[in-house]
Chains A and B, each alone.
Chain A
C-alpha cells in the first residue's frame, strides 16, 4: 500500500497543474421538456460539449451546473427514445445562465451513450458494432419475476427461454446470436455496475437431474434496474477477452437523480394460473368392453392458483455533487405447485460523490436474501409432475389412514402427493454485491477509472426425504449443501482524448482486468433419520464431500478510436488475456478487434442524394473481433493429470482420473464479423437497424475418447469448429406523436443458422437424443424413424400399428429458424398508457418426452384412445422406440405482455399525499398459439445446458399471470 501512496504523491503535482479550478466559472441551469407534450423529462443526460461536465435532470426536468467555465458552450441533452437536443449558451463568470432544451421523440438512437465493450462512455454512432439498450421502465413494465425474463421479446438476436414455471423465475437461459459452445456454457457474461456477477444455475441437490430451477441473476431486483446494455458477440465484446464468446449483458442500477429526497413505492400483486391442461387417460373402462374403473387427473390436485406479492420502497436524491439511491425490497411468490415458493428480501445503496472537481467516487452495495422451497420435477423419478405421468391414472395416490401409498412404478419412484405434503427442498441465498469506482479526470482530456467489484454469496440447499416414503430411501435421507461463491474483479482504464486537427480526433484507452473467482461446495448427507427432525444430524449414516474451484483471469488491452470529421469512426483494439485454466504455453491469447462506423447522413451532399430523399439518417457500420470462452467450473482443472479417490477396506486410496490431463488446453475462440446499417425515416420518427453477423468458433472444447485399454477414458481437448450466421432487424416507429396521443411500435426479427462445421471426434449424443454431429446444427435430435413405404407414408403392420425402421437419423432441430416480436405502446393523454408485446419462435422442434412417458405408462390422452380401441391394441408400445413420433413442431406465438397504466391526475395524487400514482393492470404469458401438444413449447428440461435444447419432460409449466401494480411517488 505504501508504494501506491508514494506513486500518487509523485503523480499529483503533475496532474494538478491541468486541473479545472473554481475561479472564472458561472452557473448554468435549465429545464428539459418533451417537445410534443411539454411534460418535463427526467433522467435526461445534460452535458457541456468538449468537457467532462455532465449531469442528469431531476424529476421536474431541471438541471444545474454550479461551476461551468465562463465562455461560449454547446450543451446537449439526451434521453433514450428522444433525438439529442443541442443548443449553445454564453456563460459569464460569476453569473447564472439559463438554457431550456426540448427533446423530440425519435426512433433513431445514434446519440445514446453506452459503455459496454467500448472502454469508456461512447455514443453509439462511434461504434462499429450493434449494441442494444433496454431501459429500466421496460424491465418493470414486463412484470417479469427476473431481469433476464423481462428481456424476452425486447432484443433482436437474443433467444431468451424461461426453462420452467417454478417460483423465483423458473430458470432462464439466454442465447445471444446462437450457441457458441458445446459444454463450456453459452450464457452471456453478466456485469452489474461494473461487477462481474455469478449467474450459476447449479441446483446442488437432485431436483430433476439436469434442470435448473433458478439461475442466480434472479437475486437482482428488477425495480433497481436503470438500464441494460447488451452486446451479442466477439465483434463487440473483444475487450472482455476469454469470457466474452457468448456476449455481455451489462446492467446498470439506479444511481439517484439530483433533487430533494424522492420516495417511491412500487407494489404489485399477481395471480398465476396453469395455462394449459395436459391430456390424460380418463377412459372410464380399463379397456373397451372391460370393467369400469375410476381414473384420476391429478393435475386437478397438484396445481393451484399461484400468488406473487412484490414491494420495493426506494428513496433517491442528491445534488450536483452527491447522488444517492436507497431501496429495500421484499417479494414472495407461491407458484402453481403449492409447495413451490420463492421469496426475496434485499436492500441496495448506491452512492456517488464528487470529492473534488476532478474526482468522483461511486459506491454500490446490494444485499439480498433469497429463500426458495422447491420440489423435484422433470425426469427425476421423485418428481411431482413425473409422478402423475409414471403411474396409471387408475392408481389412487390419496392417503389411507394418513399414510400415503407408495408409487407402484418402482423403488425409486415417489407418490407426488406425499412429495408435495412431506418432502422439503429449501434453498437459501445470502448474497452481497458491492462495487467501488473512482473516476479521476485531471484534465478534460484524460480520465482514469478504477473499479473494484465483489460478488459473493452463500447458497445453502437442503433436501429432506422422510422415512418410509421411498423404497430406495426407506430410512429417509437428509442432504445439506453449502456453496460459497466469490468473484472479485479489479478493472482499470485510462482514456485520453486528443484533437489531432479540426478534422481528426483520437481517443486512446489502456486498461486491464483482473478477475478472481472461487467456488467451494460442501455437501453433507445422512440416511437413517430420526423422526421429527430434518437436519443431517438426524441421520445415522453420514457422508460428506467438498469441491473447491478457483479461477484467475488477467487481461490487458489497448484501444485507439479515430474520429474523422465527426462522421467517420474507426476503432481498433488488442486484448491480451490469460486464464489460470490453461497451461502456460497456451495461456496468453491475443484478441484483436477493428470496427468502423460512417454516419453518411452527416455529409452535406446526403440530403440531396437519392438516399437522402428517403432516409432522414443513415449510418453504415462494420466490425470484426475475436473473443474467447473458458471451460466451466466442472472442467476447471482439465489441464492436469490428476489422481482421484478410491476407497478400499475403509482406507482412502487413489487411482488415476480416467480423464487424462491436457496441458495444451486453449480457450474456445470466436471470430465474428458483422455489418449493418442504421436508417432513419420520416425525420427519424422511424428507424431500421439491420445487422448481418458471421461467427466462427474454433477450438471448441469437448472430451475426446481415448483408447480405453490405456486406463483412461477421455481427454478434454479443442476438437472442432462451429458457425453461427444470422440477421437481426430492429424496427422502431413513432406512429403518432401528438400532444394527446403517442403511439410507438417496435418490431424485432432475428434469424440464426448454427452449424458444427468440423468435429474431429465421432458424433456424440447429449441428454436424450440431442446430438453433436459435423455438418449439423448443434443439438439436433437424432433418433429412430418410422418405417415408411415407397410413397413416404408411415408403414403399419396388419393390426394397424406403426413399424420401427430400426435406423436412426436426424429427426429434428431444436434451434428456431427465426424469432420475432411486436411491441405496441400507446400513450393517451397524460394519464393512460397501453402496451402489448407479442413474440414468437418459429421453426424449432421440441422433443415431447412428457408425451412419450405418458405412452410408456398409458397415462396420456392417446392411451384413452387405445383403451377405447380407436387406436389398435399395442399401438403406443409399437411407437415407443420411434423417437420421430415425439419430435414436435415447437413454433409458438405468445401474448407475452399486456398492460394498461393509469396515471392519476396530480391533484388527486396530492390528496393522498403523493406526488404521482400510477396504477397498472397487466398480464404476462396470457396466451400461446402453438401446435405443440405439451404444456408449453418454451421450456427446457436441461435448463441452461448448451447442447441439450428443446426437451420437455414433466417440467413445471410456465403460468399465465395477471398483475395489479401501483407505483406511488412521494
Chain B
C-alpha cells in the first residue's frame, strides 16, 4: 500500500493521494464491526458471559475479607490486608474492581440490548431471543451483586458519562424488572440450538441454565426486596436437580483460582463457619468448601478453596440449597413456620446425589444450624456495612454520593 509511494516523481506529485493515512486497527475490531453485524453481536454475547465470569471473584472476596470468611495471605498486597481489617481506601482493588468489572458487564449487556434487535433478520428469532434474555439476566445479576456492596448506585449508565445514583430500593426494583424482562423474553421465544450450542456458556455440557438462574435470582432479590410470597414462589420454581454454573478453561481461567492459588492473595479462613466446625464436625458442607491446609495467614490460619483448586473449576451462579434457605426465610416471614422448618430440614439432611453442591448430610435436624447458611458463600458484611465509592467513579462523576459512614449501623 504505502509501497505505492515509491518512485520519486510519483511520490512528489501524487503523494497526497497515494499514501493512505487512514489506517484501521488491525488488532482489534472497531465498534462498527461488532455492533452492526450478526457475527459481531454473537461474539459480543459470548463476551458478555466472559466478562461476567472473569469478575465473579470480585463480588466474593471483598465481602469475604471484611466478614472474616476469608483471610489475606502474608504475601498479599497491603490493600488486601487492610480490607481484612475493614479499613479501606477508595483506590483499593477490593473497592474498585467489583464496581469496574460489573459495570463493564452491564455496558456489554446494554450494547447487546441496544443493537441486537435491529439485526433480527440476520440473527433469527430464536438466537436473538437467547441473546436478549441473557443480556437482561447478566445485567440484573451484575446490578444485584453491586447493590449488595454499595449503598447507592447508578442504574442508567449507557452513554451517560456522569450517571445519577439511585437508592437500594429503586435499584432492587430495577433488578427485578430486568429479571421479569429476561423471563418474558425466554418464555416468548425459546432460545434455539444455535444459541445453546455456540453462545450459551457451557463446555462441554451444562453451564448456564437460563430459566433456573432467572428463578433463582428472582428468589434472591424478591427476598431482599421483602416480597416474601414472590420469593418463595420463585424459589420453588428452581429445579433442585440442576446446577447452573459458569465454566472456565485454560483460556478463560477461574478468577477465584487466580486470586487464591495463582496470585495467592486470599484464602478461606481456617475458622470459616466456626459454628459448623465447633457444633457439628459431621456437617459435610465445610469439607465441600474448604480443604484444610493450615496456612499461616496475615491475621489468622488459612485453608484452601476446595471448589476452586484448578484453572478450570466452574463457579456456580447459585446452589439449589440456597433456594431452600430463601424459602425458609420467606415462609417464616409469612408466618408459615412448619413450612420453613421443613425447608430447613431438607437442607440439613441433604446427602448423596450426583450434584456437586454442599451437602450437610446430617441425620437429625439441629436447631443450632439455623444460622449457618453455608450455601451463601460470601456477602455478609461484618466490619463495615458498605464499600466506599471507588475513586475512579468519584473523581469524574459529580453525582457520586458522599461515602457511607464506617459505623456498623443496620446494613440492610
Contacts and interface: CB of A to CB of B under 8 A. Distances in A.
A309 B111 CA distance: 61
Q: Which of A541, A546, A642 has the most CB of B within 10 A?
A: A642
Q: Which of A548, A653, A661 has the most CB of B within 10 A?
A: A653
B295 interface: no
A578 interface: yes
A452 B198 CA distance: 51
Contacts of B34: 643, 654
Given A411-B264, A554-B15, A705-B396, A650 B203 contact: yes
Contact of A649 (B40, B46, B75, B397): B46
Interface residues of B, number: 78
B367 interface: no
Interface string B2-13: 110111111111
Interface stretch (A164-172, A617-625, A707-715, A785-793): A707-715
A500 interface: no
B316 interface: no
B396 A707 contact: yes
B63 interface: no
A649 B202 contact: yes
A550 B19 CA distance: 13
Interface string A1-34: 1011001100000000000000000000000000
B161 A710 contact: yes
B8 A710 contact: no
A552 B75 CA distance: 46
Nearest to B52: A648
A640 B16 CA distance: 23
B133 interface: no
B10 A550 contact: no
Nearest to A583: B22
Interface in A498-555: 512, 514, 516, 541, 546-552, 554
A514 B5 contact: yes
Given A580-B21, A712-B107, A3 B30 contact: no
B48 interface: yes
A658 B161 contact: no
B198 A707 contact: no
A473 to B, nearest CB: 11
Given A450-B8, A488-B2, A541-B250, A711 B103 contact: yes
Given A657-B28, A710-B161, A4 B10 contact: yes
A546 B28 CA distance: 11
Contacts of B106: 711
B28 A649 contact: no
Interface in B158-199: 159-163, 198-199
Contacts of A552: 2, 19-21, 23
B30 A648 contact: no
Given A640-B30, A652-B43, A707-B393, A516 B5 contact: yes
B104 interface: yes
A641 interface: yes
Nearest to A450: B8
A874 to B, nearest CB: 17
A534 B10 CA distance: 50
B50 A646 contact: yes
B379 interface: no
A641 B44 CA distance: 15
Contacts, number: 205
Given A541-B250, A707-B162, A646 B54 contact: yes
Q: Which of B3, B24, B198, B202 has the most CB of A within 10 A?
A: B24
B11 A512 contact: yes
Nearest to B42: A653
B27 A711 contact: no
A410 B262 CA distance: 12
Contacts of A492: 8, 11-12
B31 A641 contact: yes
A516 B28 contact: no
Interface string A618-639: 0000000000000000000100
A710 B21 contact: no
B163 A709 contact: yes
B201 A649 contact: yes
Interface residues of A, number: 62
Contacts of B11: 490, 492, 512, 514
B397 A516 contact: no
Contacts of A642: 25, 27-31
Given A649-B249, A710-B163, A711-B107, A655 B21 contact: no
Contacts of B117: none
Interface in A682-734: 705-713
Contacts of B161: 706-707, 710
A640 B25 contact: yes
A512 B15 contact: yes
B373 interface: no
Nearest to B392: A708
A661 B23 CA distance: 14
A181 B25 CA distance: 24
A815 interface: no
A514 B20 CA distance: 11
A361 B319 CA distance: 79
B371 interface: no
Q: Which of A438, A472, A707 has the most CB of B within 10 A?
A: A707
B336 interface: no
A381 to B, nearest CB: 11
Contact of A710 (B108, B157, B201): B157
A463 interface: no
A648 B47 contact: yes
A633 to B, nearest CB: 11
A649 B21 contact: no
A656 interface: yes
B335 interface: no
Contact of B108 (A4, A578, A711, A713): A711
Contacts of B203: 649-650
A872 to B, nearest CB: 24
A709 to B, nearest CB: 5
Nearest to A545: B27
Interface in A547-580: 547-552, 554, 578-580
B251 A650 contact: yes
A647 interface: yes
Q: Which of B153, B198, B393 has the most CB of A within 10 A?
A: B393
B7 A4 contact: yes
A762 B104 CA distance: 23
B27 A548 contact: yes
Given A516-B2, A641-B30, A4 B22 contact: no
Nearest to B398: A707
B144 interface: no
Contacts of B51: 646, 655
B86 interface: no
A295 interface: no
A654 B247 contact: no
Given A514-B5, A580-B21, A580-B23, A708 B252 contact: no
B22 A580 contact: yes
A651 B2 contact: no
A399 interface: no
B53 interface: yes
B23 A550 contact: yes
28 contacts: A4-B10, A410-B75, A490-B8, A492-B8, A552-B2, A579-B21, A643-B34, A644-B28, A646-B46, A647-B50, A648-B252, A649-B201, A649-B249, A654-B46, A654-B47, A707-B393, A707-B397, A708-B99, A709-B99, A709-B157, A709-B393, A710-B107, A710-B160, A710-B163, A711-B106, A711-B107, A712-B107, A713-B100
Closest 3 CB pairs of A and B: A711-B107, A653-B46, A653-B47
Given A546-B27, A552-B19, A705-B392, 19 more contacts: A4-B8, A512-B11, A514-B2, A514-B11, A549-B27, A550-B26, A640-B25, A643-B31, A647-B46, A648-B46, A648-B47, A648-B49, A649-B249, A654-B46, A655-B51, A656-B31, A658-B104, A707-B392, A711-B157
